[in-house]
Structure 1
């Protein structure tokens, strides 16, 4: 097990290093001058040069890269050009909304997808299977921002059950936390509907494949109920491809909150990235993109570890 984890951890570090180089180079070759944008098009050239020196933009690229990596390792991400505050504080403040939003969306995705996928597989080629798969096809075709607008029109404008947007923070009392949780339900649902449709189809295919195995027929011959066979035997053995998709989807949910956060006017990481791009605040963009890349890599590492927990044969074969 230790060798398995060591190899996966080495892959994790190598991928993070490669991602940091790509992120830095891509942002460095973008046209334009951040100091010029901050000062305005009519600013005095000497003032623009002074600001560029203050921001470190006059240093060689490799010097800025190593300075950035050193800051990542020590927690010093620098100060935002446009906000004038530490980037780390900005990111942590926005993650307090984005991470719960992504987790809630992933929980909704998993619950809906497993229920739909297993139910459809148990009714293979029947009306229920065809109907559920038809609904998932519709779900895949719906853009999440369009579905978000529909949710606002129905639940906020017509029924007035939820607010149309905004987030007042988590607060300190249970009522304030409940109100904060309620304000994230519609955004989470709009993020989850497409991912749940995709995951449900993968779940159905994986469950159908496992249902043809000999041990399933043996369990049925012993008198195990259909429900127990599906949820206790079949689903466990079908989880490996499902978990692979779930890992990628959680990464997509973290990175895909930009549009939904802007639709619901949520002060999360996605909205911070959108505003930083508009202001050409490259130091914020660079650190946020690297953070999202790190999330993706770490989630994939966790999925690899879960593989070994679910199926010890993977761990043994890897060693």
Structure 2
């Protein structure tokens, strides 16, 4: 297990290093320079020169890259052009909304997908299986922002159970509290989870049906266990490798896919921040947000790799 962990951590560090080079190089390859892109075509040479000095663009590229990466590692990031505050403070503030939203959406996705996938696999070729597959196909076909609009029309406009958008904050000092904050995130999380649950349910069903063909499952059935009991006791863990793979990718997609949903529900999260930064040509914020999203994806993949080793001990033995 130790060497397996070392290998995964090494791959994690290399991936982040390569990603940081690519993200930095993209800004370097922009036509003109970043200062001209931020200020627009109507900017004066004096304004461009002043912004270049503020951004450190008058320094060599290698020195600027080292300063950027060093600042990220120490939490000492550059000032946002649009907000005038360090991007680390902006990201920390917006993650208080986006991260709970993604976690809530992933929990809903996992519960729905595992339940529906297990139900469909236990009733293979029966009406329940056909119904779950039809619903999952519908869920895959409809984009999450359309689900978001439908949920707003139903629960906010017609039933008036929740608000149509906005975020009250996590504390009473902000005008909200844990209860109102979770209620404000419920519809966005559900709109994100429905599409992902449809995908994961199909993967779960397929993986469980493959496991059912194994010898140990036939032995369990021969001992008198029903299909559902055999799947729960002996099949679910053996089917988790493909499920974990897709679930890890989905959690990363939930983080990176909140841009549209947060704008539909007017949530002050990472998605809305990057949308505003692109609109304002605040490339400093865009660069740090992209790097944060890359880091989240890499961290999630690392955790999935570690879960592989926990679920399947053969991976630890092969890495040893």
TM range (shorter): over 0.9
1:168 deviates by: 1.5
- Secondary structure in 2 aligned to 1:237? coil
Residues 1:155 and 2:155 are matched in the alignment? yes
Give me the whole-angstrom Cα distance separating, in 2, the residues matched to 1:128 and 1:40. Answer: 58
Contact 1:94/1:269 (<8 A) preserved: yes
1:36 deviates by: 4.4
Give me the whole-angstrom Cα distance separating, in 2, the residues matched to 1:283 and 1:39. Answer: 13
Q: Determine the structure 2 residue equivalent to 1:52.
A: 52
Give me the whole-angstrom Cα distance separating, in 2, the residues matched to 1:46 and 1:283. Answer: 20
- Structure 2: tracts of 5 or more residues without a match: none
Q: Determine the structure 2 residue equivalent to 1:165.
A: 165
Contact 1:34/1:281 (<8 A) preserved: no
1:60-79 superposed matches below 5 A: 60-79=60-79
Q: Determine the structure 1 residue equivalent to 2:18.
A: 18
1:277-288 superposed matches below 5 A: 277-288=278-289
1:109 deviates by: 0.5
Q: Determine the structure 2 residue equivalent to 1:140.
A: 140
Q: Determine the structure 1 residue equivalent to 2:209.
A: 208
Q: Determine the structure 2 residue equivalent to 1:303.
A: 304
Give me the whole-angstrom Cα distance separating, in 2, the residues matched to 1:33 and 1:104. Answer: 40
Provide the aligned length of Structure 1 versus Structure 2: 319
Q: Determine the structure 1 residue equivalent to 2:177.
A: 176
Which digits, 9 at most, give the CA deviation of each residue in 1:64-119, with x for residues without a partner? 11110111111111111110001100000000000000000000100111111111
Which digits, 9 at most, give the CA deviation of each residue in 1:239-265, with x for residues without a partner? 111001000000000000001000111
Contact 2:99/2:255 (<8 A) preserved: yes
1:242-261 superposed matches below 5 A: 242-261=243-262
Contact 1:276/1:284 (<8 A) preserved: yes
Q: 1:79 to 1:290 in 2, by over 3 A?
A: same
Q: Determine the structure 1 residue equivalent to 2:220.
A: 219
1:44 deviates by: 3.7
1:22 deviates by: 0.8
- Secondary structure in 1 aligned to 2:171? coil
1:280 deviates by: 1.4
Give me the whole-angstrom Cα distance separating, in 2, the residues matched to 1:245 and 1:43. Answer: 47
Give me the whole-angstrom Cα distance separating, in 2, the residues matched to 1:256 and 1:231. Answer: 32
Aligned-residue CA RMSD in angstroms? 1.7
Q: 1:164 to 1:33 in 2, by over 3 A?
A: farther
- Structure 1: tracts of 5 or more residues without a match: none
1:31 deviates by: 2.9
Give me the whole-angstrom Cα distance separating, in 2, the residues matched to 1:40 and 1:273. Answer: 18
Give the TM-score of the pair, scaled to structure 2: 0.95
Q: Determine the structure 1 residue equivalent to 2:316.
A: 315
Give me the whole-angstrom Cα distance separating, in 1, the residues matched to 2:95 and 2:113. Answer: 26
1:221 deviates by: 2.8
Contact 1:38/1:82 (<8 A) preserved: no
- Secondary structure in 1 aligned to 2:177? helix
Give me the whole-angstrom Cα distance separating, in 1, the residues matched to 2:44 and 2:299. Answer: 45
* Between 211-220 and 142-151, the greater mean CA deviation after superposition: 211-220
Contact 1:167/1:183 (<8 A) preserved: yes
Contact 1:144/1:190 (<8 A) preserved: yes
Which digits, 9 at most, give the CA deviation of each residue in 1:264-309, with x for residues without a partner? 1100001111111111111111111011101111111111111111
Give me the whole-angstrom Cα distance separating, in 1, the residues matched to 2:6 and 2:119. Answer: 39
Q: Determine the structure 1 residue equivalent to 2:122.
A: 122
